[in-house]
Amino acid sequence: MHTQVGIDVEQAALLLEQGELVAIPTETVYGLAANALNAQACARIFEVKNRPSFDPLIVHLAASSDCEAALASCARVIPDWALKLARAFWPGPLTLVLPRKPLVPDIVTSGLDTVALRMPAHTLAQRLLERVPFPLAAPSANPFGFVSPTTAQHVLDQLGGRIAYVLDGGSCRVGLESTIVGEQGGRPVVLRLGGLGLEELENALGPLTLATSSGASPGSLESHYAPRTPLYFDDLGYRARGLSPEQVGLLLFRAPLSEVPPDQQEVLSMSGDLNEAARNLFAALRRLDALAASRGLRAIFTQKFPERGLGRAINDRLRRASFRPA
């Protein structure tokens, strides 16, 4: 299959209506989209990504000023907290996990009685959602477990030839997957940190807890977002591991280190802006991974980012990218 790239919303819509897969831009990362109400099309998402069937998909909804009606299109129950968050942050990088309606196929929810819903804040994505008569199921447009794509080229590099079309919306503005909020014990809990900061959520709802176990919410596995090169999170001690400065890549927040070659370092925000760091994270990981392959680097070492704002989500992604089962 030849994968086309362009900005033709009509072509993307026609392909989706035919049951094809289309990579779409969002403000967070690029998603691999299918008709969320077409079980056969959604099954192809799992096939193309090599995604385990127990990892649910996020359903993307068309923008609407009536958040309650949008939620009710797929959700059977809409708690007050969910409606409050939707009205405050949609369209935006927030996913809500709610009891699902029967029209949502089992394959989308991995057989669970809940569905993950969000309303993306990207012009092209919304034009597409307004054009098609169904919501879109769309996990990140990359092979399962690998670094998420934030440009159309990233999608082509890993899925080119396996999908019909990439809708090119430029670089993603946020660069981290959405924050996921669900309910446990009758109370809202954060199931996954992401592109909407915990502080913003708490300003709307009051104090929130991070779920100790996110169950089978999307993107919740311990090992995820990983480059091919071994990654060590919160660890710059490459010498203690018997490596020289010429053998490592570094992922840093604000400033490079003097002893490692400058082109083997990625500094995410010289100004210390965590939003900028989040936006640059996945592209920087990809560059270091490619450099490791071409130059024979042995490992990537990263700093820990400040535990505030999007720094929490950056640390979450890096922690899981470095996860190695015992």
Q: How confident is the model at residue 213 (pLDDT cuts 50, 70, 90)?
A: low
- Contact predicate 192/93, CB 8 Å: no
What does the angle CA 312 – CA 320 – CA 224 come to, to the nearest 5 degrees?
A: 120
Does the structure show a pLDDT above 60 at 214? no
Does the structure show a pLDDT above 80 at 147? yes
Q: What is the pLDDT of residues 153-196, one digit of tens each?
A: 999 999 999 999 999 999 999 999 999 999 998 999 999 999 99
Q: Is the dihedral of CA 263, 269, 271, 272 positive or negative?
A: negative
Q: What is the pLDDT of residues 277-318, one digit of tens each?
A: 999 999 999 999 999 999 999 999 999 999 999 999 999 999
CA–CA separation, 80 and 92 (whole Å): 19
Confidence (pLDDT) at 53: 87
Q: What is the 3-state secondary structure (H, E, C) of 52-113?
A: CCCCCCEEECCCCCCHHHHHHCCECCCCHHHHHHHHHHCCCCEEEEEEECCCCCHHHHCCCC
CA–CA separation, 236 and 255 (whole Å): 13
Confidence (pLDDT) at 145: 86
Which pTM was predicted? 0.93
Q: What is the pLDDT of residues 17-60, one digit of tens each?
A: 999 999 999 999 999 999 999 999 999 999 999 999 889 999 99
- The residue with tokens 């989040």 is 278
CA–CA separation, 263 and 149 (whole Å): 22
CA–CA separation, 266 and 254 (whole Å): 9
> What are the chain's domains?
4-210 (3.90.870.10), 231-321 (3.40.50.11030)
Confidence (pLDDT) at 9: 98
Confidence (pLDDT) at 36: 98
Tokens representing 326 are 């015992």
Tokens representing 107 are 């394959």
**Mean pLDDT of all residues in 219-247:** 88
What is the rounded radius of gyration, in angstroms, for the C-alpha atoms of the chain?
19
- The residue with tokens 């925000």 is 269
Confidence (pLDDT) at 326: 47
Q: What percent of the chain has pLDDT over 90?
A: 91
Confidence (pLDDT) at 189: 96
Q: What percent of the chain has pLDDT over 70?
A: 96
Cα-to-chain-centroid distance, residue 303: 21
Q: Omega of the bond prior to 91 within 30 degrees of 0, cis?
A: yes
CA–CA separation, 319 and 225 (whole Å): 9
Q: Is the dihedral of CA 278, 279, 282, 285 positive or negative?
A: negative
| Strand 248-252 relative to strand 265-267, pairing | parallel
Cα-to-chain-centroid distance, residue 281: 12
Q: How confident is the model at residue 127 (pLDDT cuts 50, 70, 90)?
A: very high
Q: Which residue has the higher pLDDT, 239 or 214?
A: 239
CA–CA separation, 319 and 271 (whole Å): 23
**Mean pLDDT of all residues in 74-98:** 98
